[in-house]
Homo-oligomer: A and B are copies of this chain.
Amino acid sequence: MSEELVATKGERSRSRMLQVAYRLARQVGLQGLTIGELAADLGVSKSGLFAHFGSKENLQLAVLDFAADDFRRRVFEPALQRPRGVPRLMAVFNAWLAWASETKRGGCVFLSSALEYDDQEGPVRDALVQWFETLHQGLEKAWALAIEERHVFHRDPRQLALEMHSIVLMFHLEFRLLRSAQAQDRAHTSLALIFDRIGGENIDELICLGI
């Protein structure tokens, strides 16, 4: 067997382990994720899994990386195909709501981990801070382009990024805990109110381009 094929098989196996670990983490939290439980779910030995990841912390970090890839691939990358400015922002927003609501069981691993790790020091907390910072930078850039394109008129794209993020936080709570049938509509209303405030003349048309 060539080295390339071996590597590919190893990657496939790692990807399968992480897929299962990610699903588990969405249910029990990153802290609740144990190598023992993961081994049982995968039907492999605990020692084999431990040999692969080295420590629970490394497993947690690998799950966060895996989740970050998932988010980037499903929320940010498709939006890059849309025209810059408001259409792209709408695409990010809609894909984000879909991402937060799609799984029948288990919420956003970043959000639940943020609450678990906000008072703890260490590499997992650092990775979470880094992820949220990257998220905010991505959103800020998308809003900055909307300002540059003169779709919206505002001086502080970071503020707009954080406001969009707060809407999604509220959506997560309303949709998952409160199971509100209005969660999606409320989120869209909140975003529309931002556009009402700062949008240019053709804002409705631009919003439709992103849906």
Contact = CB atoms under 8 A, between A and B. Distances in A.
Nearest to A194: B193
A111 B197 CA distance: 30
B29 A116 contact: yes
A209 interface: no
A107 B118 contact: yes
Interface in A163-192: 163, 165-167, 169-170, 173-174, 176-178, 186, 189-190
Contacts of A34: none
Contact residues of A: prevailing secondary structure: helix
Interface string A113-129: 01111110000010011
A125 B179 CA distance: 12
B189 A159 contact: yes
Nearest to A154: B193
B159 A190 contact: yes
A27 interface: yes
A106 B129 contact: no
A193 B166 CA distance: 14
B186 A174 contact: no
Contact of A190 (B119, B129, B162, B189): B162
A112 B116 contact: yes
Given A132-B178, A166-B167, A196-B197, A119 B27 contact: yes
30 contacts: A27-B119, A29-B31, A31-B32, A107-B119, A111-B115, A114-B173, A114-B177, A118-B177, A119-B176, A128-B177, A129-B177, A132-B173, A132-B177, A133-B178, A159-B189, A159-B190, A162-B170, A162-B174, A162-B190, A163-B170, A163-B190, A165-B170, A165-B173, A166-B166, A166-B170, A166-B190, A169-B169, A169-B170, A169-B173, A193-B197
Interface of A: 27, 29, 31-32, 105-107, 111-112, 114-119, 125, 128-129, 132-133, 159, 162-163, 165-167, 169-170, 173-174, 176-178, 186, 189-190, 193, 196-197
